[in-house]
Amino acid sequence: MRVLLCLMACVLLTPALSLAVTLADARRVMPAVAVVSPVSGVPGLFSAAGPADTPVLLFQTDDFVSIPAYSGSSVNLLVAVTVDGQFTGVDLLAHQEPILVVGITDEHLKEFVAQLAGKNATDRIRVGATGREGYVGIDGLSGATITAMVITRTVTLAAERALAAYKQQAQAGVAPSPISDFAEAAAAASAEPVWYWSWQQHRLKVAVLIVALTLLLLVLFLQDWLVKRKVLFQRFRIAWMLFTVIYIGWICHAQLSVVNLLGFARNLAGGFSWESLLLDPVVFLLWGFVALSILLWGRGVYCGWLCPFGAAQELLSKLSRTLGFEGWQFPHALHERLWAIKYLLLIAIFGLALDSMANAARLAEVEPFKTVFVMQFSRPPAYVFYALLLLALTVFNSKFFCKYLCPLGAALSFFTRFKVFDWLHRHVECGHPCQTCANECPVSAIKPTGEIIDNECHYCLECQVTYWDEHRCPHMVRKRKKRLQMRDSEEGVIASDAGG
């Protein structure tokens, strides 16, 4: 665990600043430029002659702003902007985004940033806001929404700061040049944070998720009442699993991933920013709930209730059992040793992240989440086959991926030891000799001796249903029989007294 925590704390890679814009760089966004000169007094800012000899400023965004993207690192772009704020060209220089694994190449990113040419830094440029009054909309990138929003904000904010610095120098007489009242217009455009637009755009999804998470909290606090009503609980459980798969997974595309943790670690290491975390409101709310639930009940609440891929596996497993296919489980000794696979994968992923987020994301493809929920199987055949194979395995061995391969589950399990509540009840007879719950646990998180393994438990509450079942739990069966015998004895005494 110490090794893993050290790796997480050391994910410190951030792109190196480059203060120079060479002539070759400038020609990437201004092909006809002949001379590039540094702007005196403003490091990283350069000027060149544009059409009709109008001055054009050139800079790399990392010299003026650093907004963590999905990877936790900034995206560095080369920007050419006139002194009145009009973008004449934008080009991608460097990034650590793990988006190549979903089929989005650097060329796609360059096509995206090319949309900014002709726009003005004072415009309220927003991804997906085409046709929205008061906004200038540009097309997004399917599967890379956060990256697209961060790039847009990076370019506009860097331009605002570069132009403000240029204006200050011009007013001081260092580099005199006609310039508009850009700073005032830019301030008005920046009044609304970029994440606010995202929350407005997804307010219905946010509202539905808040209601659902509130209901789940209520279920968790009233779990004893619910599990005593077996039929009601089972119906609610199936309905919730369907909601998780369909709404959280396929509609919101909000399957959490170990890549999110990598990005968060880099965000912390590079200077914490709420803005990048707030860009995807559904994912933000889910991670907030995960943090709360881990503190109170352990990681099992997410894995057992809010993970779309886990829910899909559980539904398939339940369906196969209903159809009479019992499946099989590994012997407990082998089962425990197979747990090590997901922890080794987690360590490898964090180790690769020290060098390259892109390489770490490639190994993180052990998670089939992007294939199933983000791209919805619109990927090369190898990815689709792998995802379908894992779903098929759960028919034979319930939640196979969760138990042995999931690096996210492995990461969350480290924080389970800090949980506050221990509300999963056990009888003295559990494991001595009763093995009912241990045999029926879908993730085999109960030892043969009866103890629940908190780090592996998915908090599905199935063992609690059995715990209170007076017809299946041996302890409760004895209590029921004893109660019936006492009742029959009392009725016999009453009948005897009445006959006497």
Read off the pLDDT of residues 343-371 as tens digits, 9 standing for 90 and up: 999 999 999 988 878 788 889 999 999 89
Task: Kindly report, residue by residue over 147-163, the tens digit of the pLDDT.
Answer: 888 899 899 999 999 99
Q: Over 50: is that where the pLDDT of 198 sits?
A: yes
Q: Over 60: is that where the pLDDT of 72 sits?
A: yes
Q: Over 60: is that where the pLDDT of 209 sits?
A: yes
Q: Cβ of 61: how many Cβ atoms within 10 Å?
A: 26
What is the spatial distance between Cα 478 and Cα 486, in angstroms, rounded to a whole number? 12
Contacts (Cβ under 8 Å, ≥6 apart) of 14: 66, 73, 74, 266, 269, 270
Look at 264 and 7; give whichever has higher pLDDT: 264
Q: Over 60: is that where the pLDDT of 19 sits?
A: no
Can you read off the two tokens belonging to residue 390?
């894992």
Q: Which of 117-131, 235-249, 250-264, 301-315 has the lowest mean pLDDT?
A: 117-131
Q: Over 50: is that where the pLDDT of 11 sits?
A: no
Q: How far is CA 310 from CA 171, 243, 408, 455, in A?
A: 61, 12, 12, 16
Strand 45-49 to 55-60 pairing: antiparallel
Can you read off the two tokens belonging to residue 254?
């909000």
N- to C-terminal Cα separation, the chain: 74
Contacts (Cβ under 8 Å, ≥6 apart) of 351: 7
The whole-number pLDDT of residue 15 equals 43
Helix, strand, or coil here: 94? strand
Q: Over 90: is that where the pLDDT of 480 sits?
A: no
At position 330, the amino acid (one-letter code) is F
At position 291, the amino acid (one-letter code) is A
Residue that is written with structure tokens 């560095």 in the block: 76
What region does 299 belong to: left with phi over 0, alpha with psi -120 to 50, or beta? alpha
Q: What is the mean pLDDT of residues 197-205?
A: 88
Task: Kindly report, residue by residue over 104-121, the tens digit of the pLDDT.
Answer: 778 888 889 899 999 998
Residue 446 dihedral angles phi and psi, to the nearest 5°: -120, 125
Look at 433 and 97; give whichever has higher pLDDT: 433
| Complete DSSP assignment for 185-224 | HHHHHTSS-HHHHHHHHTHHHHHHHHHHHHHHHHHHHTHH
Do residues 4 and 346 lie in contact, with contact meaning Cβ atoms separated by under 8 Å? yes
Q: Which helix (H) or strand (E) holds 88?
A: strand 87-94
Do residues 329 and 335 lie in contact, with contact meaning Cβ atoms separated by under 8 Å? yes
In whole numbers, what is the pLDDT of the chain averaged over residues?
A: 85
Q: What is the mean pLDDT of residues 183-208?
A: 74
What is the spatial distance between Cα 315 and Cα 299, in angstroms, rounded to a whole number? 20
What is the spatial distance between Cα 250 and Cα 240, in angstroms, rounded to a whole number? 14
Q: What is the mean pLDDT of residues 455-459?
A: 94
Task: Kindly report, residue by residue over 30-62, the tens digit of the pLDDT.
Answer: 888 888 999 888 888 999 988 777 889 999 999
Banded model confidence at residue 496, pLDDT cuts 50, 70, 90: low
The whole-number pLDDT of residue 180 equals 46
Helix, strand, or coil here: 81? strand
Q: What is the mean pLDDT of residues 12-21?
A: 52
